[in-house]
Chain A
C-alpha cells in the first residue's frame, strides 16, 4: 500500500511538473511562503513593519537603498511588503480552516444523513449563497470593529457555504458506492461511515478548492483592509498600504503600485498552483477509484 502511494505521488508530481504554468505557480507560492517565514531576515529594515517615523527619508522613490521606495513617514516599503505577506497568508489559512471546518462536516451530514436535517442545512447554505460573498463580508464587517479578527470572521462567514455545497455534491455521488454499502452492512455507525469512509474520498476537490481559494481570500482581505474595515495601520497589510499610498498619488506612484503587485503575484501563484493540482488530482481521483 505504501509503495503504491509513493509511486502514485511520483507520477502525480511528474504530471504536475509537465505543466510549466503550474510549476511557475508553485514557485510564486513558495516565494511568498519563504518571505513570510524569513521576514525578519529578508527585510532590509525589519523595524519599519511597525510604527516608526523617519521623516528625513520620507517619500523616496525606489533606489538602491530602498528598492520599493519609502512611504510618507520614511518607512521602507519593501520591508513592509515582506512583512505584509505574513498577514495575508495567516488570513488565508485561518479563514479557510474555519470555512472548511464548518462547511465540510455540514456538507457530509447533509449529503449522507439527508432527511430534514440535510434539507435544513442545504436551505441555509443556499441562503448564504444568495448574496455575493464580498457583500456579505462587508455586512458582517459593519457589525464588528475593524481588525484582523473581524476580517477573518467576516470572510469565513461568507465562505463556508461553498464547502458545504461542494462536499454535499461529492457525497451524493459516492454514497451508493460498494465500499460505503459494505461498511453499512457490517454495522459501522453513521458517523464512522460519513467521516472515515466517505470523507477521505471527497477530499481531492476540497484540496483543489482550498488552494484556489487561498488566492481569493487574500484578495478579499485586501479589499476589506483597503476600505479601512480590516487590519489597521501601522500594521503592514497590503490593502491598507495601498489605501495609505493612494493619498500621495500621482507623485508617489510606488506607494500604490508595488504593494498591489505583491497581492497580484500571490493570488496568481495560488491560482496557477490550484489549476495544476486540479489537472493532476482529477485524474488521480479516477485512478484511485
Chain B
C-alpha cells in the first residue's frame, strides 16, 4: 500500500518537471538580444555568427531545439557557461554542496527554533513566550533577509568580532561529499569542522528566520487545536506528566501541519538563498545563479533554475512521504 502511494507521488512529479523544463526553455529563447552576439562580442563577422548558431543548433525549429536540450539535460549536459567558460554541469558539481549544506542547516535551525517556541507559546497562551514569539514571527516574515544579513555581519563580524564575515572558511576538509561539516567529521578533522561551523552560523541563521517564524505559527496553531481534545484530558487524568502529554502525544498530532508548512516554505528558503549567499559570499549555486542572472549567462541561469525546481519537488515529495508515514489516512485516500 505504502509503495503504491510512493510510486503515485513520484509519477506525479514527472509532468510538473517536464512542464518546468519547457517553461524555462521557452523563457531562455525569447531573450531579446542575441545570445550568440552576446557571446562573440560586437566585433564578430556574420559568418562567425552563422557558424556558432549552427554549432549550437539555434537554426533548428523550436521543438527540435527543445528535444535536443532535454536530451542534454538528461545526460547531465547543460552547455557551457559564458562567464566561467567551463561546462555548467561542472560548476554545479562544485557549487551545489555548499548550498545543500547551507539550506539543510538553515532548515534545521528553523525547526529547532520554531517548534519549541510554537509549543511553548501554545501551552502557555498569552504568556511572555507567546507574546515574544508573536513578534518574532511578525518580524521574521517582514524583514528583508539581505538587510538582516548585513546587520548581522556588522554586529557579529565587525563590532563584536566573534564570527567570520564571508565565505565557507579556509580550512577545507578532504572532499568526500562536499559538505564541509560531514566531510570534516568523517575524516576526524575537528579544526575544519569548527571553522566550517563558525562560517555557517550567520548565513544559516539569517536564512532560517523567516521559515522559523512560519513553523512557529503553524506549530502554535496546531497545538492549540489539540489542547481541548478528549485524549489530552484522558492522558492527564491518568496522571501522566504534562510534558510527556505535550511532546509525545499532542506534538505528534500537531506536527502534520508543521510538516506542510516546512514543504511550502522550503521554496521561499531556496529563493532567499540567492540573497543570503550573495551577501555572505557563500560559494553555492544560488550565488552562482545570481551572478549568472546579472551577467546574462543563459545556460547557467537555466541550469540553476532547473536544479532549484528539482530540489523543491524532491523536498515536497519527501514531506508527502513523511506525511503518509505519520498519518495513515493520507496513504489510503484516493487521489
- Write the residues of chain A forming the contact surface with B, with a CB cutoff of 8 angstroms: 123-124, 126-128, 130-136, 138-144, 215, 219, 222-223, 226-229, 239, 242, 246, 249-250, 253, 256-257, 260, 263-264, 267-268, 271-272
Rounded to whole Å, the gap between the CB of B235 and the closest CB of chain A is 32
Q: Which 5 A-B pairs have the closest CB atoms?
A: A134-B271, A127-B19, A260-B147, A132-B267, A132-B271
Cβ contacts under 8 Å, B15 to chain A: 123
B74 at the interface (CB under 8 A from A): no
Q: In the complex, A246→B278 CA distance in Å? A: 13
Inter-chain contacts of B289 with A (CB < 8 A): 135, 138
Interface residue from A136, A226, A250, A268 paired with B138 (Cβ < 8 Å): A268
Name which of B30, B144, B151, B304 has the most chain A CB atoms within 10 A of its CB: B144
Q: With A142-B293, A144-B32 in contact, do A130 and B142 touch (Cβ < 8 Å)? A: no
| A256-B147, A264-B143 given; A128·B271 CB < 8 A | no
The chain B residue sitting closest to A246, CB to CB, is B150
* B105-149 residues at the A interface, CB under 8 angstroms: 138-139, 141-147
* Alpha-carbon gap, A253 to B154, bound state (A): 8
CA distance A246 to B31 in the complex (A): 31
Q: Are B293 and A138 within 8 A (Cβ)?
A: yes
B292 partner residues in chain A, CB cutoff 8 A: 142
**Of the candidates B28, B30, B143, B271, which one forms a contact with A135 in the assembled complex, judged by CB atoms under 8 Å apart?**
B271
Beyond A143-B32, A250-B158, is A264–B17 a contact (Cβ under 8 Å)?
Answer: no
Q: Which of B87-95, B166-174, B305-313 contacts A (4 or more CB under 8 A)?
A: B305-313
Q: Return the chain A residue nearest B306 by Cβ.
A: A131
Interface stretch (choices B180-188, B225-233, B294-302): B294-302
Q: A interface, by DSSP: helix, strand, loop or mixed?
A: helix
Q: Tell me whether B30 and A134 are in contact (CB under 8 A).
A: no
Please give 13 more A-B residue pairs, beta carbons under 8 A apart, in addition to A131-B305, A135-B289, A229-B293.
A126-B19, A130-B16, A135-B304, A135-B305, A136-B305, A140-B27, A143-B27, A143-B30, A219-B142, A227-B294, A249-B158, A257-B151, A264-B139
B22-64 interface code vs A (CB 8 A; 1 in, 0 out): 1110011011100000000000000000000000000000000
Instruction: Determine the chain B residues whose CB is within 8 A of the CB of A250 once the complex forms.
Output: 154, 158-159
- CB proximity of A53 to chain B, nearest CB, Å: 25
Chain B contacts to A: CB under 8 angstroms: 15-17, 19-20, 22-24, 27-28, 30-32, 138-139, 141-147, 150-151, 154, 158-159, 267-268, 270-272, 274-275, 278, 289-290, 292-294, 296, 298, 301-302, 304-305, 308-309, 312-313
CB distance from A183 to the nearest CB of B (A): 31
Interface pair B32/A242, CB less than 8 Å apart:
no
Kindly provide the distance from the CB of A106 to the nearest chain B CB, expressed in whole angstroms. Answer: 16
Shortest A263–chain B CB gap in Å is 5
B313 contacts across to A, CB distance below 8 A: 130
Name the B residues within 8 Å of A246 (CB-CB). Answer: 150
B17–A130 touching, CB < 8 Å: yes
Q: Which of B138, B146, B294 contacts A242 (CB 8 A)?
A: B146
- A138, B273: Cα distance in complex, Å: 12
* A142 / chain B contacts, CB cutoff of 8 Å: 31, 292-293, 296, 298, 301
